[in-house]
Amino acid sequence: MAYRGGRSVKETTNIDWSDIPEGAIDASKISNFTKTVVSVTSSNTSVSESSLSSGLRHKIQTAKDLAEYAAATVAFKFQQEIDNLEGVLRAKIDRAAVLAGNALQPGVRGFLQSLQTSTVQFGFESINADTDISSTQATFYKVITGGGNVTVTLPGATTCPGLMLGFKKAVAGNSMIIDGAGAQTINGTTTKTFTAQHDAIVVVSDGSNWLIISNHS
């Protein structure tokens, strides 16, 4: 069918039947042959899906299904990649935490070794009564609480930044009490109390308050 001047014109073709061999045409197949005619005019060029053959509609639906499946597959793969990336990052963070912990231990060991090689020298004293510490030298104190509770008041942290002091409760009974000067704190609290024999604490001044660097209780 052709279109001329905005109108459809049916064209015919003359067939020379003498050119077709006998028996070449199966009449039963011709009777079963159908086709869909879609009307198109100059004023309406739209084609409705219902006007299409069932085979073509099936192909269109198949294409839609494949497109939806492809989109869902891409979304699933994308989510998998995100999950894998999160897993890799989580593993790296955990590994970094382990490495940081391992690195800290040699640092602490190095610090203790420096003490043993006299890089820092510590004094040593024994006390058995309430005492205000005035030493400006790093010192370990053996605190004897056999006669009652012993309160040790630390020097003002502002007067001795970097000063390190250690205290060990040498005997059972009563309490060893470590107190900051005035309102100064020890790891955020004004007083630390120890009741068991061999309890020990090491503190250092940060210039404002005292920080615990070792605590055995």
Sketch out the chain's domains with CATH numbers: 2-48 (no CATH), 123-216 (2.60.120.640)
Higher pLDDT, 29 or 151: 151
Are residues 205 and 216 in contact, defined by beta-carbon separation less than 8 angstroms?
Answer: no
Q: What is the pLDDT of residue 89?
A: 75
- Say how many CA atoms lie within 13 Å of 200 toward its Cβ: 12
Task: Please give the Cα distance from 45 to 51 (Å, whole number).
Answer: 13
Q: Determine contact, residues 30/19, Cβ cutoff 8 Å.
A: no
Residue 50 is predicted with a pLDDT of: 65
pLDDT band at 87 (very low <50, low <70, confident <90, very high): confident
pLDDT tens for each residue of 153-212? 999 999 998 889 999 999 999 999 999 999 999 999 999 999 999 999 999 999 999 999
Q: What is the pTM of this model?
A: 0.47
**C-alpha–C-alpha distance, residues 74 and 80, integer Å:** 10
Q: Tell me: the pLDDT tens digits for 95-150?
A: 776 666 665 555 455 555 555 554 456 788 999 999 999 888 889 999 999 999 99
HSE of 194, CA atoms in CB hemisphere, 13 A: 26
pLDDT at 183 (0 to 100): 94
